[in-house]
Chains A and B, each alone.
Chain A
């Protein structure tokens, strides 16, 4: 009896192993299939627009539902400009926060401040949109923009970028909100990679008399350079696809503004606003899906670079 049940149980356990391993592997393949299906769905959905406009879709600044002429240039421009501006604002702040948390802050303060910064990343993006619209936009239109228009707006060369009516909304405001949203992601990644620097290296530098900043500049940053860039790219990926917050504050106009105070749109904001009111099967809907495909490709490239640079195991 014992021999047969033992064989039977071994058989069933090896069967159990096979089933479990197969399910696990299929789940892994499912993730790859999702990626493939997202690309396929966007390509198929956008095919009508891609066939109708060809490569000109990417270079046309038209968005004319009446004459059924659609182009992606303005949203692509808005997406890239707001994301880059946001990074320009966020990276120095995020670096300062990460530097403070790893080298300067007293031990007892590190955890609460770290947690607070991480909570900033947990706030839903719709909340950033409302906060931006009801708090930041009035501040921008009443104080910041009139002041900047009267001062920097008069300067040669860069003046024109800071002119126009102070609506409060616009590209710069969107970039500001985006910056606030990506700061915690970049700061958390930088903090994590700064902590990977072996203490011996830092102690050696301190031992020959380096100041905290010199240790940061000559030891920590060179040691972690690739991962820091990876963290910044991760923030860029987030900023490119952010939807709700941008939709609230960017002004939603399909025009390339000459001023940073002018309204604009991004791929995500135009899709969020116009998709629900597009008819199924229309050229407009197809153009929006093609826009989604463009956003996916940009975000994929940025995130792929980010993941390659970040050492595996670090996450944000």
Chain B
């Protein structure tokens, strides 16, 4: 019987074979994609698991109450934690107003102007530029001429990282505001600056706050821009004109050391900074979702 199969039926078997092959290719690709996603999730899990396993053991009150000490003398990370808090807060405090104004300029004054487009382009490039170059820049600008590494130089380097992040979120959030709202405010006779400050900022408050928080999370974990600016300091110091400790730089110095207790402290510090950064990131996402 199979010898007498006419033409169309032969095409049918070919078509069925083609259909099977297409389904097979589709299945293979799907499996590959699920595998890729699984690999991504496993990597995150591996990082978090490693941090927990190696970091939790070193958690104790001493970590938060004692400054870094020579190996073997049961030191903590107090100066590094305080240094990171100071530099992060000051860096964000310097960078945020500038970023906010630039974002406002892009969204409210220069949506389609040549200058606006150039500023937007440059700001987006600075957003992804290697952070170590910011460190080199601030070294040349502040550290080298003004005689030495200082906490304030670290703050400036971090502020330069904050600016493009805040610019991006501020512009995005302001652009989302419908122009009818702006027209209504202007129609009431309010000057443009009052419209921006009293209405637009208020509407976009949550989104702008998100950008600032993300920027804070980002700079609190930055190491490279601090290496040549605030340098790191193994002693307790709140003097902004002197080298200042920070958690990431201390982790860097301790992780590469030969002393077991220093390496343990590095892991504990790594756990603390990662937990803080991820907590801010998750909180920001929850905040955004709640607002929608």
| A binding-site residues for B, Cβ under 8 Å | 13-14, 16-17, 19-21, 23-25, 27-32, 34-35, 37-38, 41-42, 44-45, 92-97, 99-101, 104-105, 113, 115-120, 122-131, 133-135, 180, 183-184, 187, 211-214, 216, 234, 237-238, 240-244, 248, 268, 271-272, 275-276, 280, 288-289, 292, 295-296, 299-300, 303-304, 306-307, 312-313, 315
Contact = CB atoms under 8 A, between A and B. Distances in A.
A57 B132 CA distance: 21
A242 to B, nearest CB: 7
B251 to A, nearest CB: 6
Nearest to B285: A115
B285 A24 contact: no
B194 interface: yes
User: Which label, helix, strand, loop or mixed, suits the secondary structure of the B interface?
Assistant: helix
B252 to A, nearest CB: 6
B36 A97 contact: yes
A6 B239 CA distance: 50
A222 to B, nearest CB: 17
A42 B137 contact: yes
A126 B39 contact: no
A122 B217 contact: yes
A139 B126 CA distance: 36
Interface in B253-275: 255-256, 266-267, 270, 273-274
Interface stretch (B5-13, B58-66, B68-76, B218-226): B218-226
B124 to A, nearest CB: 5
Contacts of B267: 130
Interface of B: 22-23, 25-26, 29-30, 32-37, 39-41, 43-44, 46-47, 50-51, 54, 98, 101-102, 104-106, 108-110, 115-116, 118-134, 136-137, 139-141, 144, 160, 163-164, 167-168, 172, 190-194, 196-197, 217-218, 220-224, 227-228, 231, 248, 251-252, 255-256, 266-267, 270, 273-274, 277-278, 281-282, 285
Contacts of A124: 220-223, 248, 273-274, 277
Contacts of B98: 27, 30
A93 B26 CA distance: 17
A123 B23 CA distance: 39
A126 B221 contact: yes
B251 A113 contact: no
B258 to A, nearest CB: 14
Contacts of A94: 36
Contact of B101 (A23, A41, A214): A23
Given A23-B101, A38-B133, 6 more contacts: A97-B33, A100-B37, A119-B278, A120-B47, A123-B221, A240-B130
A126 B270 contact: yes
B118 A131 contact: no
Nearest to B218: A122
B122 A32 contact: yes
B223 A243 contact: yes
B131 A16 contact: no
Contacts of B115: 25, 28-29
A214 B22 contact: yes
From A16, A99, A126, A289, name the one whose CB has the most chain B CB atoms within 10 angstroms.
Answer: A126
